[in-house]
Amino acid sequence: MTTATADAVSQPFQAEVAELLHLMVHSVYSETDIFLRELISNASDACDKLRYEAIANPALIADGAPPEIRIVPDKKADTLSVVDTGIGMDRQELIDHLGTIARSGTKSFLARLTEAKDGAGLIGQFGVGFYSAFMVADRIVVTSRRAGAGEVWTWTSSGGSGFEIAPGSEEDAKRIARGTEIVLHLKPDAKKYLETHEIERIVRAYSDNIQFPIQLVPEEGEPSQINSASALWQRSKSELKPEDYATAYKQIAHAFDEPAMTLHYRAEGRYSYAVLLFAPSTKPFDLFEPERKGRVKLYVRRVFITDDADLLPAYLRFVRGVVDSEDLPLNLSREMLQNNPQLAQIRKAVTGRVVSELEALGDKEPENFAKIWEAFGPVIKEGIYEDFERREKLLALSRFTTTAGEKRSLKQYIADLKPNQTEVYFLAGDSIERLKSNPKLESAAARGIEVLLLTDPVDAFWTSAALDFEGKPLKSLSQGDIDFGLVPLLDEHKDETKPDADEASIIAVIKATLGERVSDVRASQRLTSSASCLVAGSHGPDRELERLLARQNRGAGSKPILEINLRHPLVAAISADNAASADLSFLLLEQAQILDGELPEDPAAFAGRLNRLVLQGVAKGDG
């Protein structure tokens, strides 16, 4: 409910903002310094936006005042002010930006923040850094004038349930010609942030590479610039230290972890541009949001243009950083971003360089690459399906849990092929434990054939493409015919000769009993000890993809093939003369479903059949 007093209007916070503020105020995060970094970052964004909008509308900076940021401590009033001469906000923008979180994934973010021991990194990643100021302030006053506007507006809140918005005073109008002033009324335990040495320490640690001058305005003496205000990506690699990159990463990516990979280079030639990219070592909470948006920022001659230029494909959306072009026009429109041939060339070249750098990291620094794969492996594997041009490279990058161990590459797999083995075998499912106990592995295990065990949802999709690696096709153990006959058994004395059972009559009985529940029944080359398993046909989706599509009601649900092990006593007992053959046939289907992680079609009928067969066995034993 909105209430008005004089010219001031009170409004409640959006529910998620209220919950976020409660977490900020009542949780003690160890990194309270985050508030100043986040306010400076927001001020920098505002200055970036001003520079960009002024390209089309030069009147916005007609006063000639360059964009800058000022930090003003006031020990008498116990306030700390962060002031920028950027784009500023009008009344509605103050309400939209400071009263609501207009982003998908808010609920999951809040859940993560509640669970986190220290939520500082999450706060920055989600872009709600402004609210972190309530960790150190019990009241915040924001006064802003949008560039080119006549009105000044004031937003005030003490946290709690809402905020108040009102027209600025004449004094406010004189003080703020353009931009935003944020005044924090500090809590008693946050007074250290009024000390100039403390402010300088935080700026040096987190904001030194902000491109706009950050002026510290002390209570006594002259203002001084406390950041280097240089575009680090434009500097030579030889003059930079690892700590410079670590600081730049934290500022650019709003991160608190260490980068697992840093890529810094300058491209010269037909097009000239500087690149500074980082691969994080921990994944952000919104990695799997449907938009699959990247966060690499596009600059043109040090002027920020957008972070929505899709400079890298969606499967590299975890990469953070900057691409700064010398040649692109400053007034890039949305349409030009999509269709500019020069930008397309930059995208292609930078993507290729990132993939090559990941390859090199895997060879030279496997520990750092392991961090990237652990956090982002499922995302990188999206590229195997989507990026035909780099498919072989992405397959080489990939690491797998296999029946031979963890974090195995396909190069290692190929090096360990068994005699006469001509394919790379995999099995997809929902958990490693279930896959390891899957009967489809039995014949492969008897020959020591390594099998990739794939449990990420994306695995069902990329493996649906016709793939090979170094000339060896990838083959699912859940699909089509499998024949390991030419690969020698580990145990040479193990008997794999065809049993004496009447194959044709057994299959005929099972087919007649199961009817249209299966598309076919056939003798299995996969099984050595289990009685049955379900597989997909050679054409159409694999079993795991079939299940995923069925869950989303996107597939027709083709009938599986039932494979039977003719050496198994349960199968051998089936005949036209055996009264229990119908129950046994259904049992073969239902136990195969259970081993695949599915429920029998009719659980009550399954239980009844099982009980009958058990009782028959008990009766024979008593007899």
Confirm whether pTM is higher than 0.75. Answer: no
**Residue 282 assigned as binding residue:** no
Q: Which range, of 249-253, 444-448, 457-461, 468-472, averages the lowest pLDDT?
A: 249-253
**Residue 3 assigned as binding residue:** no
Q: Is the pLDDT of residue 126 over 50?
A: no
The whole-angstrom distance between residue 386's C-alpha and the CA centroid of its chain comes to 16
pLDDT at residue 283 in the model: 83
* Cα(551)–Cα(555) distance, integer angstroms: 9
Outline where DSSP puts E strands in 429-529: 451-454, 468-469, 472-476, 520-523
**Pairing verdict, β 320-325 and 295-300:** parallel
- Per the CB < 8 A criterion, the answer to whether 38 and 130 are in contact is yes
The whole-angstrom distance between residue 285's C-alpha and the CA centroid of its chain comes to 7
**Residue 180 assigned as binding residue:** yes
Tens-digit pLDDT profile for residues 205-257: 778 878 899 999 998 889 999 998 888 898 899 999 999 899 889 888 877 78
Residue 140's DSSP bridge partners are: 157, 184
Q: Which range, of 252-256, 457-461, 601-605, 609-613, averages the lowest pLDDT?
A: 252-256
Report the share of the chain in percent with pLDDT over 70.
90
Question: Two tokens at 422?
Answer: 């001509």
* Cα(187)–Cα(56) distance, integer angstroms: 43
pLDDT at residue 231 in the model: 84
**Residue 540 assigned as binding residue:** no
**Pairing verdict, β 79-84 and 295-300:** unpaired
Tens-digit pLDDT profile for residues 490-548: 887 665 566 666 888 999 999 999 999 999 999 998 999 999 999 988 887 878 887 77
**Residue 368 assigned as binding residue:** no
DSSP for 195-242 reads: SHHHHHHHHHHHSTT-SS-EEE--SSS--EE-S----GGGS-GGG--H
**Residue 130 assigned as binding residue:** yes
How large is the average pLDDT for residues 446-469?
A: 93
pLDDT at residue 105 in the model: 56
Please give the CATH topology (third level) of the domain spanning 400-623. Answer: Four Helix Bundle (Hemerythrin (Met), subunit A) (1.20.120)
Tens-digit pLDDT profile for residues 568-590: 999 999 987 788 899 999 999 99
- Per the CB < 8 A criterion, the answer to whether 84 and 46 are in contact is yes
Domain ranges of the chain: 3-225, 232-372, 400-623
**Residue 89 assigned as binding residue:** yes
DSSP state of 68: -
**Total Cβ atoms within 10 A of residue 335:** 8
How large is the average pLDDT for residues 88-93?
A: 94
**Residue 225 assigned as binding residue:** no
Average pLDDT for the chain: 87
**Residue 1 assigned as binding residue:** no
Domain 232-372 in CATH 3.30.750.24: no
User: 477-500 as b/e, with b when 16 or more CB fall inside 10 Å?
Assistant: bbbeebebeebeeeeeeeeeeeee
**Residue 126 assigned as binding residue:** yes
**Residue 196 assigned as binding residue:** no
**Residue 484 assigned as binding residue:** no
Q: Which range, of 126-135, 352-361, 448-457, 464-473, averages the lowest pLDDT?
A: 126-135
Q: Say which residue the tokens 């209007």 belong to.
A: 9
Residue 103 binned pLDDT confidence (cut-offs 50, 70, 90): low
For the structural domain made of 3-225, what CATH number should be given?
3.30.565.10
Highest mean pLDDT among 38-47, 101-110, 229-238, 447-456 belongs to 447-456
